[in-house]
Structure 1
Amino acid sequence: MKKIFLSICILFSIITLNAQDLKKYDRGNFIKGKDSIYYRILFPENFNPTQKYPILFVLHGRGESGKDNEKQLTHGAKLFLKDDIRKKFPAIIVFPQCPVESYWANVNITSNDKGKRNFSFVEGGKPTAAMHALQRMVKDFLKKPFVNKEQVYVGGLSMGGMGTYELLRRQRKTFAAAFAICGGDNTNNIKKYQHIPLWIFHGGKDDIVDPAFSMAIAERLKTVGKEVKFTLYPNANHNSWDSAFAEPELLPWLFSHKKN
């Protein structure tokens, strides 16, 4: 009984500690006219508003949508709380949250009789309400005196990976580099972000978003793009973000890029 009690106490302590760590992400919101979006933001340790810092926007997947301004921290947020990461890469990290009634990317989603989702990515088209608000929020951050405009990055997983491609093509002159995990896009849109260094990840056994989407984008970018890296995890399903966020070279690669 003592061992069981001790195990429960340790588990509770870990959960409590994680929750406390995530509280280091300040709560914020951007509201302007009809555009409204919640976000969590992590500032570098010993933040100095007179200095300029890189900024990274991380877009969550569909399961973390909402208005609680909390669920979007489920995947990836703990990476940026690690002491060594904070020391090596003093950057501003922003996790915006997409409301349930919207979607990061302009994509038509249908389901077959077995419940499998099919994604049809739109070429061009108007941004969703969430993407429109996100774009304005990003532009607002770029006005801040402490943001280094030469080091602006975006990355995302699943719906957020799709949103990453969309944000890149809608604001192609903004970002120095990006990463997309288990996402997808219409390959006709690639020409709009082909000059932005991009690292693409996908699970080979993904049964939610077909890895063929990432493969097609990577192959096209290898022909016309400036710089593309593609990592396929053969045995990973849709949660390939676990492996991607564990890549030791992801952040060194990302933050090494500066916009020309």
Structure 2
Amino acid sequence: MGELMRSAILCFAFWLGAQWAWAQKGAFEKQVYYAQGDSLLYQILLPNDFQEGKKYPLILFLHGAGERGDDNEKQLKLGGSLFESDSVQQDYPAIIVFPQCPEGTMWTARQKQKDRKGDWRFNFPVPEHPPKPSEMVNALVDSLRSGTQVDPSRVYIMGISMGGIGTLEFLHRWPEKYAAAAVICGGHNPQLTGNYHQVPIWFFHGGKDDVVPPAFSKAVFKRIKRKNKASRYTLYPEANHNSWDDALAEPQLLNWLFQFKHL
């Protein structure tokens, strides 16, 4: 890690501690993270019972392509209300972070095109350096983990569609950060699971998904399941790409996620 990055993380950690003193608890707050001469829009939610000096789990949530932009709002469209609910606040107090990816870029360098039959075909190149938004998100996670309020053994990642693809690539690039993950209507190259096969992942997909076909998540799951019996795969036979409706309503989702810790 370069000196500039270290300085940015230390400054941000100090700034974040001050912000938490006045941030509204139980509701998302708009924030901007600055590092590497760039900025990242995100929203953060603190639990209702937030206490200075207490460590909480951290959930990073990567949105889909439809929520990209610069309003620092759309990224909460899918999933935001789940974490603000009274029951989740009571049973699963955590620090929740929803970054927003700008238009014209993605969390990954994935490519797709339709074949002669009209079916989508995906490629998942992984260049040496991730797209800038993902690089910024990773730096933000580093900042939060280095602070006094996050339990570094209980950092989780979730993602929908483009964010589900991003989740798997984040695990490939930075597997040491995350104790468990949830991937909704996403997928990736199953040949790249070697770095993260030890991370428990719950996959969700719609059987009729014609945007990201379920074969792409199923292939990753099959490869991971060989060495990680804690991972799960749930297929909703009648759901299309909007399998997030069912996945985010799964009553055991957060209970399953929060059981895992880094040793």
TM class by shorter chain equals: 0.7 to 0.9
- The answer as to whether partners of 1:104 and 1:130 remain within 8 angstroms in 2 is yes
Among all aligned residue pairs of Structure 1 and Structure 2, give the percentage whose two residues are the same amino acid. 44
**Aligned counterparts of 2:224 and 2:109: Cα–Cα separation in 1:** 21
**Aligned counterparts of 1:79 and 1:200: Cα–Cα separation in 2:** 18
Give 1:49 deviation, angstroms.
Answer: 2.0
Letter in 2 for 1:215: K
Matched, 1:252 2:255: yes
Q: Matched residue of 1:109: which SS? A: strand
Match for residue 172 of structure 1 among 163, 171, 175: 175
**Aligned counterparts of 1:29 and 1:251: Cα–Cα separation in 2:** 27
**Aligned counterparts of 1:255 and 1:65: Cα–Cα separation in 2:** 28
Tell me: CA distance 1:137–1:115, structure 2 relative to 1, closer, same or farther (3 Å). farther
Matched, 1:159 2:179: no
Matched, 1:212 2:212: no
Give 1:110 deviation, angstroms.
Answer: 3.0
Letter in 1 for 2:42: Y
- The answer as to whether partners of 1:52 and 1:148 remain within 8 angstroms in 2 is yes
**Aligned counterparts of 2:188 and 2:252: Cα–Cα separation in 1:** 25
Give 1:225 deviation, angstroms.
Answer: 2.8
Matched, 1:94 2:101: no
**Aligned counterparts of 1:243 and 1:225: Cα–Cα separation in 2:** 24
- The answer as to whether partners of 1:40 and 1:95 remain within 8 angstroms in 2 is yes
Letter in 1 for 2:257: L
Match for residue 195 of structure 1 among 177, 194, 198: 198
**Larger Cα-atom Rg:** 1
- TM-score normalized with structure 1 length: 0.87
Give 1:222 deviation, angstroms.
Answer: 1.3
- TM-score normalized with structure 2 length: 0.86
* Structure 2 runs not aligned, ≥5 long: 1-23
- The answer as to whether partners of 2:108 and 2:126 remain within 8 angstroms in 1 is no
| 1:191-239 deviation per Cα after TM superposition (whole angstroms, max 9, x unaligned) | 1110001100100000000100011011111113352100000000000
Aligned length: 239
Q: Matched residue of 2:99: which SS? A: strand
**Residue pairs, 1:122-137, within 5 angstroms:** 122-123=125-126, 125-137=128-140
* Structure 1 runs not aligned, ≥5 long: 1-20
